[in-house]
Chain A
Amino acid sequence: MKRYSVFAIVREALRQHRGWEPAWASPEPRDRYDVVIVGAGGHGLATAYYLGKNFGITNVAVLDKGWLGGGNTGRNTTIIRSNYLQDPSAAIYEKSRALYETLSQELNMNIMFSPRGVMMLAQTEHEKRGYLRTERANALQGVETRFIPPEEVKKLVPIINIDGPRYPVLGALWQARAGTARHDAVAWGYARACSAMGMHVIQNCAVTGVEAVGGKVTGVQTTRGAIGCNRLGLVVAGHSGHLANMAGFRLPIESVALQALVSEPIKPCMDVVVMANTVHGYMSQSDKGEMVIGGGADGYNNYTQRGSWHHIEETVRALCETFPVISRLKMLRHWGGIVDMTGDRSPIISRTPLEGCFINAGWGTGGFKSIPGSGWAMAELMARGESSLAAGFGLERFREGRFVDESVAAGVAH
């Protein structure tokens, strides 16, 4: 793999860019691998990457039914933060945020991590008390957050209307080291690094069945033939339930559509991420100048990867009140992704009833920010059979009533 650098740009500029090579190889699948990961999104690729980097396991294939990072990795609103209430969540999301800080250098791919700061607005007294509690919890967990008064919110975000008649801004939970990153580049960077370690990233290869003998996984059936493996990782977000059915177990997961939209590009006007959970809307400005807006999730099971008009209306109406300046913006694009929601709104990184088969799922609306930490924990679990980061997120917690209850902690959006 040729390294990307300023010298490479100069070199290629001098020879009409004829020397760039594909970022990752597209090999034919072999008959057998040590580890097969289903799902070449951020989480799947990160799992493979840390299997290689931390544990030296490189006989790995990452399969995807479509193109690389074409699922939720390319559909999210790119927010990275770790201001969660519960200890297991704060640990894994903070690990993830910390890994993001140096990921560009590590992967030799500019993922454009921008630690611009994320603020979660408190717009009701209830929410304010909740965030004050989170601030204190975060202090104990070693996550740097601060509850800031309305004047400071206004100073950080001049375009905000803090005196909204219905939902005035009473303050905000501010995490200065949180931010955004280029989501596609995260998948591309991991894929390139995996490929450089000799792993196979195989696109357009849908898994159609899971093979097992005597309760132990032996491989998968795919649209490109049977592939054997010793260990299988299912990392397929919204389609986890579908894959779990193939592997013969059920999950405490339901799939719903979550949607987002972007406006036409405008001049820089907001250099932080603002989340308004009470009114179901969050917004940041991309490097291209588009306002990136995320809305609420549908309340019903859905696999359509489409949004719905009333959610757009709901989200935009709420944001127009908080940001009057955007009221005349035209919206350019709108899309939906299928997120896998668990009962406690926390992920599952776990062994499964099928020996040798592991699952990483249930990230719900918080998947992108957790990619490096999730991959780190999943790789450790698959290589060693246990992981301290994943310990709180086992499948058995539902049976045992040990929830990592973030549905209460975060209110709405994650």
Chain B
Amino acid sequence: MLLLTCPHCHVTAEETEFAPGGQAHLKRPQPEAGDDAFESYMFTRPNPMGVHLERWRHAYGCGKWLIAARCTVTLEVFGTYPAQTAAPPAEIVKKIKKKRPEWEAPA
């Protein structure tokens, strides 16, 4: 079972207290961007075997959204940060890179 720390209320709890919300940092294209851009935004996913930045909601806690950096192969959680963040913060990137030097933050 995953243990996640909520960056809002600082509670560390089991995954049952959180609700998963899919890949994070998806950027909605402009209305005129075209079908390809919208297909990519709505459906196409890198689905990495490795570090995944994903949204969770502290559903049975403070109710706020957060983003977790988690490895999909080892289930290691590198850290969490508030969902109101456009890109992973430098300290999280540093933590991930320390263990996975080849990892690149998604554009």
User: Which residues of A are interface residues toward B (Cβ below 8 A)?
Assistant: 239, 241-242, 245, 250-255, 298-304, 308-310, 342-343, 398-400
Among B35, B36, B45, B52, the one with the most A-chain Cβ atoms within 10 Å of its Cβ is: B45
* B47 touching A253, Cβ below 8 Å: yes
With A300-B54, A301-B54, A304-B75: A252-B45 Cβ-Cβ less than 8 Å? yes
Which residues on B sit within 8 Å (CB–CB) of A251?
44-45, 47
B107 within 8 A of A: no
Which residues on A sit within 8 Å (CB–CB) of B23?
254, 301
Among B14, B22, B39, the one with the most A-chain Cβ atoms within 10 Å of its Cβ is: B39
* B72 touching A255, Cβ below 8 Å: yes
Contact of A252 among B14, B16, B44 (CB under 8 A): B44
* B72 touching A303, Cβ below 8 Å: yes
Looking across the interface, which residue of chain B has its beta carbon closest to that of A306? B75
B19 within 8 A of A: yes
Q: How many interface residues does B have (CB within 8 Å)? A: 27
Which residues on A sit within 8 Å (CB–CB) of B73?
303-304
* B43 touching A310, Cβ below 8 Å: no
Q: How far is the CA of A20 from the CA of B46 in the complex (A)?
A: 47
Q: How far is the CA of A301 from the CA of B54 in the complex (A)?
A: 9
Q: Which residues of chain B from 1 to 37 have any CB-CB distance to chain A below 8 Å in the complex?
A: 1, 14-16, 19-20, 22-23, 35-36
B90 within 8 A of A: no
* B43 touching A299, Cβ below 8 Å: no
Q: How far is the CA of A390 from the CA of B15 in the complex (A)?
A: 38
Which residues on B sit within 8 Å (CB–CB) of A309?
1
With A242-B49, A299-B20, A301-B52: A343-B15 Cβ-Cβ less than 8 Å? no
Looking across the interface, which residue of chain B has its beta carbon closest to that of A255? B47
Q: How far is the CA of A304 from the CA of B22 in the complex (A)?
A: 17
Looking across the interface, which residue of chain B has its beta carbon closest to that of A340? B47
Q: How far is the CA of A302 from the CA of B70 in the complex (A)?
A: 10
* B46 touching A310, Cβ below 8 Å: no
Q: How far is the CA of A399 from the CA of B44 in the complex (A)?
A: 10
Which residues on B sit within 8 Å (CB–CB) of A399?
35-36, 39
CB pairs A–B below 8 angstroms (25 shown): A239-B49, A241-B45, A241-B46, A241-B49, A250-B45, A251-B45, A254-B22, A254-B47, A255-B47, A255-B72, A298-B20, A300-B20, A301-B47, A301-B72, A304-B72, A304-B73, A304-B74, A308-B15, A310-B1, A310-B15, A310-B16, A342-B43, A343-B42, A399-B36, A400-B35
Looking across the interface, which residue of chain B has its beta carbon closest to that of A343? B43
With A299-B20, A302-B75, A303-B73: A252-B43 Cβ-Cβ less than 8 Å? yes
Which residues on B sit within 8 Å (CB–CB) of A300?
20, 54, 70
CB distance from B18 to the nearest CB of A (A): 10
CB distance from A145 to the nearest CB of B (A): 31
Q: Which residues of chain B from 50 to 92 have any CB-CB distance to chain A below 8 Å in the complex?
A: 52, 54, 70, 72-75
CB distance from A82 to the nearest CB of B (A): 26
Known pairs A309-B1, A310-B15. 5 more at Cβ < 8 A?
Answer: A241-B46, A251-B45, A253-B45, A255-B47, A303-B49
Which residues on B sit within 8 Å (CB–CB) of A308?
1, 15
Q: How far is the CA of A396 from the CA of B79 in the complex (A)?
A: 36
CB distance from A333 to the nearest CB of B (A): 19
Which residues on A sit within 8 Å (CB–CB) of B47?
241-242, 251, 253-255, 301
Which residues on A sit within 8 Å (CB–CB) of B40?
250
